[in-house]
Structure 1
Amino acid sequence: MLRHPSRRRGHDTVTDEFAYDALPMRVIFGVGAVHRLAEETRRLGIRRAVVLATPGQAGLAEQARGLLGGIAAGSFVQARMHVPAHTVVEAGQAATQLGADGCVAIGGGSTIGLAKALALRHGLPAVAVPTTYAGSEMTPIWGITDNARKQTGRDRAVLPRTVIYDPELTRTLPVHVSGTSGLNAIAHAMEALYAPDASPVISALAERGIRDLVRALPAIKADHTDITARSTALEGAWLCGACLGATTMGLHHKLCHVLGGRLGLPHAETHAVMLPHVAAFNLTAAPAARDALRRALATVSPARALAELAVRLGTPRTLKDLGVTGPALPGVIDEVLAHPYANPHPLNRESLRALLQNALDGSAI
């Protein structure tokens, strides 16, 4: 009988047998790439595109409309954090009134999340133009928040058909947003390293993406206009997002989804706070992931290195910094345990309480 060769490494089994599904999307990357927006939109057969953005990025929406020319049907600039259900309804009504047969999402995770919701509910194909390092554009994961509960799912129908990465569009991204957004991206790759459906392809992308971001983010902190650092960070975020799109999410994302949806916390800042604490919790049960992070971060203690990186970047360090109080934690724990994600470290109420308390107080790692 033929056997697939495998070998043990700590608690991980590394085997020559794995599955890897490449996600069907087109990527355009480069300084000035946004000027190909009309060409790429036409390429998809979109004749009337509604431009999506947040209120704070209405200027970017106008820029996109100008580049689209006659393809632009109008704008909806009310995208919101965590994709509220009522916003999805309003955006769908606007798209219908405009006669839109597709959309262009320009901005961060909130805007791209709205485009995904429109694809899910109305079948509108999307072109994504990311301006942060959120990585949502590379995943089939959607999320819609209703009554303080964030529902998430996976569906390839929500994938943007084309993603245009232009580092120039990130030059004006504030330093603190760059830092939290970059740590958010690193969290995507970290979870991919210990996901039950990880593969050598994804592990290689994850390690490279983390290394790029760790190198680029301090350089952006020193000079937010550094186009080389911006390009490196955006490429790293692309790779990290692709890792999240191809694997199963774990405890880190479950906690952030519950904290964000239940307490209305800012998405990237929540990821930045939770990242080192979840790393400290999970990596003892995932030696291969720990070793990859050691290489990417050039350290023997990945969790501590991630905490120190957050200090260097000046991002929020504790859940208290985000306005969370102790009485909110039991409800978060209940929701996480009610529908847990796959995770290398076993979960129970006491271990989750300790993890969240450490994140609340900013306890040393």
Structure 2
Amino acid sequence: MAAAMDVVGNPSSVHGEGRAAKALVERARAQVAELVECSPGEVVFTSGATEAASLAVPQGTVLWSAGIEHDAVLSWAQPNGVEMLDVDENGVLTGTVRGGSFAENIQDGVVAMQAANSETGVLQDTLPKAQTLWALNRDVLVLVDAAQALGKVPFSFARSGADLVMVSAHKFGGPKGVGALIVKHGLDVKAGIRGGGQEMGRRSGTENVIGIAGFGAAAEAAARDVANGCWDQVKKLRKILESALAGAAKETIFVGKGANRLPNTSCFATPGWKGETQVMQMDLAGFAISAGSACSSGKVRASTVLRAMGYDDETASSAIRVSLGLETTEQDVLRFADAWLAQERKFRARAA
């Protein structure tokens, strides 16, 4: 990104400076495409996954979605109306809509499915659901939110069954404020922002060359980390963390533990102990965690994800998310466990 700051040209210009900027954008497009396993021409740069969602689900589109989806998708329930897909107790899609089959219910619109949940880390196998929709031969597009999954687990655009995929750079070490919508070749997506016709006519406006360059570099590094199995150690640390907590906090519920999850995410709830209280207590102890999605920080409310999974409001209001990274150590994990358990004992004493 620092090097890209010295490239002052506009990527749409044909002079040498413009061509140099264009080369940075196209290099990044290829790097992102390699991570997502799509062709570079299918990558449309945006300001992030939220803008990608707005491009994928334009006004007036019928949206089919589960209550576990991110607000970037669920917010389209207000202008468009939304039909809810069913999930089980782990937050895994069941392949039904209010108990009925896809064939009985889904006629047209966009069906949104996550590759991984931002709060629980639960992974979805989206391909079988997409194949069911393909068999219906109806006017339906599949949108997969891959923002949380990319860079932590292998992901393939083709094997996801998606027509459209949402991507966000900062979820795997890139800069904030840049992302992409992956659009299947040949699919007509109307421009979200009109103007000079940049990004193959899908998203006008002069490209954020510096951010896009950082996006590409992060994508290349993330693809290497996944290929090298770097996240396997993080998964071991998560197991150490959850074992330490579960052994002493008998009433704590580990959400989605019965499903496949991202290697770095642990979501757990201690009914009656408010999630935002835990966030503040751990912040004072030197740990940055969240109650729900970080994109909803500052909003004191029960987790809509946990409620969609069948948890009551007390439990949904008591959930926190702890995320680990490639630089997290076992010492970090055990220090967190000690600090959290000390506060948990105080909570139990007050509640007694």
* Pairwise TM-score range, normalised by the shorter structure: 0.3 to 0.5
The structure with the greater share of residues assigned to helix is 1
- TM-score for the superposition, normalised by structure 1: 0.34
- TM-score for the superposition, normalised by structure 2: 0.34
Task: Identify the structure with bigger relative contact order (alpha carbons < 8 Å, sequence gap 6+).
Answer: 2
